[in-house]
Structure 1
């Protein structure tokens, strides 16, 4: 359970040993594991994804700036303004950013877009108790990053149009509890986790890109691209972007907001 020191140490040890841990993450659940390619491929297959699907990464708050190549920001985008925006959005809660990838980041954790090599960083926000778990797992793996993915089966495996991330541990256990390579680290209080993130729906994060821009808006501000519209409402993202001198445009993947997973309360019992 998050917040219980012995459970956090145990879960971090499971990551070090090469297992995936399904854990509380902001106001929902995510799967975290070592970043080596063999582990990423194994978790992808377990979820029903293609083995070679690019992995997202996560880390502890202080290490987030280490995961981007700040020398490759697009013209008109300032380092100070971007880092201030990152800080503001992670202060609100869980969020994701796609930015220029450092040269030493392995290919299975990066993607190519318009000739730019990028990395997607997803973090639970500064106030989430899972940061202690992430810090211990990072220390144990002697790495600056971990692999992260949503806590759900892929729609490729289920045949559904969309398989939203879990935000209830009971349903998460039912889906992954029999997997030999998965361990669980639950929220101490799921309702409290949701109350602590009143702006966010319990679902996968929104993702904002800053490795490219979409021209400028009517005020002459460079427009950042929202790659995915997830837990944080669009207007809150727009307000944060404008506060630091950016406009906002919706990429193809953000035209429709992600869905919140629906549960049968009678079946789940909570």
Structure 2
């Protein structure tokens, strides 16, 4: 669907430099921006605790829930404490694996958090301070927006979450992430604290990511290993089976000297949001 078909519900367009500047200014002022993120949409916002708590309440999450971190590709490594990798996991191989996955499209990466990661974006995991980095991949034009927003806020990192309602406070299951702007605008467009920065062409955004389903991202963890393969390779953990399939991630990981094992809750892939007739 092209931008011309949904102009009534789109506030700004991701490929328009003026719209990108306006969205970055809105984020710097404290609003969340629902923006094109690979082949779906995500909410980016300032990483301060007050803003994180407000967006959590907006989504239906517990206010104190930790947010994920997003940044431009060149700053991804600075989110992690590379001195705290598990024994036998080489740093350079992890980084080359990360680079390939980010080059394919949207992906999540969880590992030991660097000290510079804001407190609202880090959580304790058995005594290790951890961070979950969620990025749209290098094929997505949203990096212009993320870079402009970082320049406006003066930091290296922003907070990010999926563009959906969680309903954890009402006992309902989390809804799938949005991948159409009209559904996104219908759900969040009436919120005074949210602005929409839409894909100029959603079909083109999906074509740029042929290996990814229209769901929240898959999350690969290098926080600890799940044993070793028969050939002795360290086994990394797939914490969420999202847009990029476990088989695809396993094949890429093998190229960099790793095995892959899904966590018990990640054996079944996420299902994309279903929309009614256009």
Band of TM-score, shorter chain = over 0.9
Q: Secondary structure at the match of 2:25?
A: helix
The CA deviation at 1:108 is 2.0
The CA deviation at 1:157 is 5.3
2:211 is equivalent to residue 199 of structure 1: yes
Q: Distance in 1 between the 2:169 and 2:182 partners?
A: 21
Name the residue aligned to 1:179: 191
Q: Distance in 1 between the 2:90 and 2:183 partners?
A: 43
Across the aligned residues of Structure 1 and Structure 2, the Cα RMSD in angstroms comes to 1.1
Matches within 5 A, 1:73-112: 73-112=85-124
Name the residue aligned to 1:131: 143
Name the residue aligned to 1:49: 61
Q: Secondary structure at the match of 2:243?
A: coil
Deviations 1:185-233 (A, max 9, x none): 0000001101111100011000000011111111100000000000001
Q: Distance in 1 between the 2:174 and 2:148 partners?
A: 33
Contact 2:47 2:120 in 1 (8 A): no
Name the residue aligned to 2:159: 147
TM, length-normalised to structure 2: 0.93
Q: Distance in 2 between the 1:173 and 1:58 partners?
A: 22
State the number of aligned residues.
266
Change (3 A) 1:219 1:211: same
Deviations 1:107-154 (A, max 9, x none): 321122222111000000011100000000001101110000000011
Name the residue aligned to 2:34: 22
Name the residue aligned to 1:71: 83
The CA deviation at 1:159 is 4.9
Q: Distance in 2 between the 1:113 and 1:216 partners?
A: 22
The CA deviation at 1:156 is 2.0
Displacement over 6 Å in runs of 4+: none
2:259 is equivalent to residue 221 of structure 1: no
Aligned with 1:6 (options 8, 18, 21): 18
Q: Distance in 2 between the 1:252 and 1:108 partners?
A: 27
Q: Distance in 2 between the 1:104 and 1:9 partners?
A: 26
Q: Secondary structure at the match of 2:217?
A: coil
The CA deviation at 1:155 is 3.2
Deviates more, 1:239-248 or 1:151-160: 151-160
